A and B are shown apart, each in its own frame.
Chain A
Amino acid sequence: MKEISFVILIIASCIACKKQHATSFYFWETMYEISPIEKNIWMN
């Protein structure tokens, strides 16, 4: 019974571990320049 629990624990740990490995990216192809800071103009 202990062995089964141990195996379950390992599987659960692996799933948890795998879940935390996801890498993603944001992709902003163009910037619609709404924010003044993003506009290519001089600011004070």
Chain B
Amino acid sequence: MDELNVQKLYVRFFDVDMKNNEAIPIGEINIKEKNIQQEIIPVVFITNDVFKNLDKNKIEDLAKHIKQEIEFIYPKISDKKIKEIQFDCDWTISTRSKYFYLLNIVEKQNPTLLVSATIRLHQIKDKTKTGIPPIKKGVLMYYATSNPLDFKEENSILENKLAENYCKEIQNYPIALDIALPIYSWAIIENQVGEKRLLNGIRNDMLKDTSIYQPIKPNFYLVKKDHYLHGNYIYEDFTIKTEEVTTTQLEQASTFLKNKIINQELNTIFYQLDSSNLSHYSIQNLKNISK
């Protein structure tokens, strides 16, 4: 991170979900040490269920509770002042009005803070239907271009052609955008009856042993014997599909977006920070992609 001169870390602090008819923080981050170098930006993921179940009065309370929870966690990770809070929600037509209301309330309650939000590809493409969040800055999540459960040959993390199709009119999007590019990987495991599950952090180079993994076609393997993979028991005859994004794909994505997005300041955020993910990309390449 030093070599890359990373200035900001967007850290997921907690999710908000419904439990016993209440919106509560779940899965809070477990902080082991303070970060003294980067600016930490708290990210809060909120499920659509929250907005389906809460009325506007309760959303005002939720805005306060979220801020309080962030203020409780923040000093454990940073000595700096909070400058920005980011919300992450896969909002839809049915939840947008309450989600946007929450964003408005948080901004009103915290006029000195920058309130930003993640924006998914379908929300860019269908902006007239899904609406435009009332924020000054968004982050385009330039990944998750299809459903990994489809188990097709395309890469569900990023297919540039599909992503570009979503962003044909991104130059007209009325909010300044940063871009988030995927450096994560995973394997989709299919069992003998066609059920699937995900294993994070798997890449092709982990499946080189042909006595265990028989290549069927690019990125697909047939398991030849029972074994553990990343702590998960994998049986013979399971099929594994790996998904990862190459440097060339990231460069193509970055070039496309930089030509399209017209805001003066365009930051690149890589999803997600992990020593294993980082080891697959050279510092120089990541620097070039961020340029």
Contacts and interface: CB of A to CB of B under 8 A. Distances in A.
B17 A24 contact: no
Interface in B182-206: 191, 194-198, 200
Q: How many A residues touch the partner, as a band? A: 20 to 34
B196 A42 contact: yes
Nearest to B32: A29
B270 A23 contact: yes
B197 A34 contact: no
Contact of B195 (A23, A31, A32, A43): A43
A1 interface: no
Interface in A7-38: 16, 19-32, 34, 37-38
Contacts of B14: 32
B269 interface: yes
A25 B272 contact: yes
A23 B6 contact: yes
B1 A25 contact: yes
Given A16-B264, A42-B191, A24 B286 contact: no
A22 B7 contact: yes
Contacts of A44: 194-196
A21 B291 contact: yes
B51 to A, nearest CB: 14
Given A23-B287, A43-B149, A28 B272 contact: yes
A27 B38 CA distance: 12
B268 A23 contact: yes
B269 A25 contact: yes
B29 interface: yes
A37 B27 contact: no
Given A34-B17, A43-B149, A23 B12 contact: no
B7 A26 contact: no
Contact of A20 (B9, B38, B180, B265): B265
A30 B194 contact: no
B30 A30 contact: yes
Contacts of B9: 24-27
Contacts of B196: 42-44
Q: Which 6 A-B pairs have the closest CB atoms?
A: A32-B27, A42-B195, A25-B273, A24-B8, A23-B290, A22-B267
29 contacts: A16-B264, A20-B258, A20-B265, A20-B266, A20-B290, A22-B265, A23-B5, A23-B286, A24-B6, A24-B38, A24-B178, A25-B10, A25-B270, A26-B11, A26-B43, A26-B180, A26-B272, A26-B273, A27-B273, A28-B12, A29-B11, A29-B29, A30-B27, A30-B29, A32-B15, A37-B148, A37-B198, A40-B198, A43-B149
